[in-house]
């Protein structure tokens, strides 16, 4: 079994910063691509940023230059540094990871999500 646990969400004013973390644990042999998604009320879930196991990153246009995704493979943890936050960044942020388990099953796992609210 594999678990992903997000932390770091909260309430922040426009222009502020938050750092989200996503820690993976359990029967893990390897973690491939990890990513952050977000979903605002009444909107579809959108990919915010992704990072491969070798550190290649990709960002949604709406967050380029403001958000930075990173990971610490030794700690099995991914981060999302969010700067210059805007009210439109308000959403539930969820992490996902493509994991090879110790019983050689490879699949995507999701965290439970963390709320980010940016006040104007």
pLDDT in tens, 32-41: 999 999 999 9
Span 2-26, pLDDT tens digits = 999 999 999 999 999 999 999 999 9
List pLDDT tens digits, range 89-100. 999 999 999 999
80 touches 19 (CB < 8 A) = yes
Query: CA-CA distance, 67 to 63, in Å (whole number)?
Result: 6
Q: Are 94 and 35 in contact (CB under 8 A)?
A: no
């Amino acid at each position: 079994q594999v678990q992903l646990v997000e932390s770091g969400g909260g309430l922040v004013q426009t222009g502020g910063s938050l750092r989200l973390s996503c820690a993976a644990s359990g029967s893990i042999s390897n973690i491939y691509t990890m990513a952050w998604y977000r979903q605002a009320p009444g909107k579809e879930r959108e990919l915010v940023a992704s990072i491969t196991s070798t550190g290649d990153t990709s960002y949604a246009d709406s967050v380029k230059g403001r958000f930075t995704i990173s990971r610490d493979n030794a700690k099995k943890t991914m981060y999302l540094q969010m700067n210059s936050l805007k009210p439109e960044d308000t959403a539930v942020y969820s992490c996902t990871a493509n994991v090879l388990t110790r019983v050689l099953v490879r699949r995507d796992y999701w965290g439970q999500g963390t709320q980010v609210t940016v006040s104007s």
